[in-house]
Amino acid sequence: QCLYQFLAFVPPSNESLRKPGTASVMVDTQHPLTLLLNSSVGDRDLCKIQYHFGEFGNYSLVVKTLSTSTQTVSCDLIINEGPINSYLPILFAFLVYMGVLALLIAGRLLMKIDPVRNWVYKKLDPRATDRMINSELGSPNTADSINCDPTPQSWSTGSRQRLRSLDTFRGLSLVIMVFVNYGGGKYWFFKHESWNGKLHFPSALFSRFVFIMGTSVALALGSMLRWGSSKWKVLRKILWRSFVLILLGIIVVNPNYCLGPLSWDNLRIPGVLQRLGFTYLVIAALELLFTRADSGTWEGRFPALQDILPYWPQWIFILVLETIWLCLTFLLPVPDCPRGYLGPGGIGDFGKYPNCTGGAAGYIDRLLLGEKHMYQHPSSGVIYQSTMPYDPEGILGTINSIVMAFLGLQAGKITLFYKDQPKQIMSRFIIWGIVMGIISAILTKCSKEEGFIPINKNLWSISYVTTMSCFAFILLLLIYYLVDVKKWWSGAPFLYPGMNSILVYIGHQVFANYFPFKWKMQDSQSHAEHLTQNLTATTLWVIISYILYRRRIFWKI
């Protein structure tokens, strides 16, 4: 539902020289396009062609006049040079990483030979690291393990074995996020969706972070209280870590390393770490208020719901929050915009609401924060050419990030209440995943644009939250089964960045433009060069996190 945008003016042909009029343009290849040819006389539509152009292809649209009296023309699309196969670099990179994996597997097989294993253990002494990880949970003080990047204890009082699936889940999301933030090889499916619809890789990453943060809070809080920490002491830690996270976020999203002093007039206030910090504050405080040091079996009715019914005040709080989001989103009057508008503004919706980007969410941010303190280049500007600033980490969307973290908190409670019962844990993960999927199907009517509430990462719509929660429960189930139940996979290499996630996230932002994470390319249009650079940078952060893991260095806030 976009307005047609002027692309080119084709001059009339020179009949004396028999030279046709020509015009050269570049078009986008991410989506199918509609080309509309208008007559300069009378503004008549002469022909319309719908086509999905291929990357780096060369095409000609040949227009011939068939009848001057009726102004009938023919439009033929000719492929002068076929598009390239831009996915070959991905295949090559996949083969390289599979080769590295094969070498690692061969190394593991060699480790089964006693002389080799004894020599390696003598040189590297990995058991010391494992003992430290399992006993101290990556922190000098067990009671200090609760934070925004929690490293929770598991539930077993006999052998306090770390729950590796959580770190693996967090690390997997972080590694993909680093790769995407570095450019994702300049592939369209590694970019954020302009507005509604398709769930590209970036759409799921931040939400997984929020989800697993909630899971970790449930485990870490119970652990601290069991170790004798008072609730007031834990609350002080929660407040301090939330403050540090928000402060770090403001510093990271306002980089002025080479631009001179920072201007307070243009300081961006929202951001990823800011939202994580505030979400953590609300969820951790909410859980602290109702959690119990003893997470044993509930003696009330309906024992199958022991992870839900004792916490009914939390559910009421979350429902109230969601009601507030729905009322503000659909009932708040926004100047010059229809109520309940969820569109991108700009040329979307046939250009009817150009200054309504984000509806109530954008209006609240502009009203409370000011336009200069928001993100100035939203993804909606790419396709919909919106000119209004819009922040995807704005105020209204934070409500639904709290809901997302609360669903992650529920996953943590499941692991606590059904300790040593992996079948019960996995069955409940499946049930929650199915329930969230059904809610998403109802809200969206299984469509991109026609549902009651479309899936939208920029708005953090409730359908986005339920869809991402569905995927998160299923992914956590798979990782938990492979890593902690069957122990077929150690979680490597994602385990290592997952245990140092704050350091890796902030580090990859701060050093994004420094060598060896970035260098000048020979061909800035080459997917192969971009992919090589982005994968190299991402791999370096995995190696750095592994070295820190070996040296027992874990940055906690």
User: Using one digit for the tens of pLDDT, what is the confidence trace for 370-419?
Assistant: 998 998 888 888 888 888 899 999 999 999 999 999 999 999 999 988 88
Which ranges of 332-461 does DSSP label H, i.e. alpha helix? 360-368, 380-383, 395-417, 422-444
Supply the mean pLDDT for the chain: 85
Neighbours of 265 (CB within 10 A): 8
How many residues are listed for the chain in this entry?
557
Closest listed residue to residue 307, CA positions, set 317, 296, 316:
296
Averaged pLDDT for residues 480-497: 92
Per-residue model confidence (pLDDT) at position 151: 40
Per DSSP, 482 falls in state: I
Contact 518, 512 (CB under 8 A): yes
Neighbours of 294 (CB within 10 A): 8
By percentage, how much of the chain surpasses pLDDT 70?
87
Q: Give all strands (DSSP E) within 7-104, no chain letters.
A: 33-38, 45-51, 58-67, 72-81
- pLDDT of 199 strictly over 80: no
Confidence of residue 283 (pLDDT cuts 50, 70, 90): very high
Q: Give the rounded distance of the alpha carbon of 264 from its chain centre.
A: 28
Residues 6 or more apart whose CB falls under 8 angstroms from that of 435 comprise: none
Averaged pLDDT for residues 207-231: 87
CA distances 424 to 34, 169, 211, 411, 477, Å, are: 52, 20, 20, 12, 11
Per-residue model confidence (pLDDT) at position 382: 82
Closest listed residue to residue 360, CA positions, set 255, 459, 241:
459
Block residue for tokens 């479309």:
454
pLDDT digits (tens, 9 = 90+) for 157-195: 333 456 899 999 999 999 999 999 999 999 888 887 788
- pLDDT of 462 strictly over 90: yes
Per-residue model confidence (pLDDT) at position 295: 53
Confidence of residue 494 (pLDDT cuts 50, 70, 90): very high
Per-residue model confidence (pLDDT) at position 52: 92
Per-residue model confidence (pLDDT) at position 528: 92
Reply yes or no on whether 200 is catalytic. no
d(CA 288, CA 280): 12
Confidence of residue 300 (pLDDT cuts 50, 70, 90): low
In terms of C-beta density within 10 A (0-12 exposed, 13-18 middle, 19 or more buried), how is residue 394 classed? Answer: buried
CA angle 415, 205, 85 (to 5 degrees): 135
Per-residue model confidence (pLDDT) at position 463: 94
Contact 3, 347 (CB under 8 A): yes
Most confident of 89-93, 307-311, 420-424: 89-93
Work out the widest C-alpha separation in the chain, in whole angstroms: 96
In terms of C-beta density within 10 A (0-12 exposed, 13-18 middle, 19 or more buried), how is residue 308 classed? Answer: middle
Per-residue model confidence (pLDDT) at position 534: 95
Per-residue model confidence (pLDDT) at position 213: 94
Averaged pLDDT for residues 93-101: 94
CA distances 404 to 211, 212, 277, 399, Å, are: 6, 9, 14, 9
Per-residue model confidence (pLDDT) at position 426: 94
Per-residue model confidence (pLDDT) at position 138: 35
Q: Which residue has the higher pLDDT, 19 or 82?
A: 82
Contact 195, 380 (CB under 8 A): yes
Per-residue model confidence (pLDDT) at position 198: 59
pLDDT digits (tens, 9 = 90+) for 544-555: 999 999 999 888
Q: Per the residue annotation, which of 31, 192, 373, 530 is the catalytic one?
A: 192
Confidence of residue 148 (pLDDT cuts 50, 70, 90): very low
- pLDDT of 200 strictly over 70: no
Cis previous bond, 126, omega within 30:
no
Most confident of 302-311, 370-379, 466-475, 520-529: 466-475
Per-residue model confidence (pLDDT) at position 135: 40
- pLDDT of 132 strictly over 50: no
Confidence of residue 139 (pLDDT cuts 50, 70, 90): very low
Q: Which residue has the higher pLDDT, 103 or 117?
A: 103
Averaged pLDDT for residues 223-252: 89
Query: Domain map of the chain by residue range?
Result: 1-84, 164-174+194-294+303-487
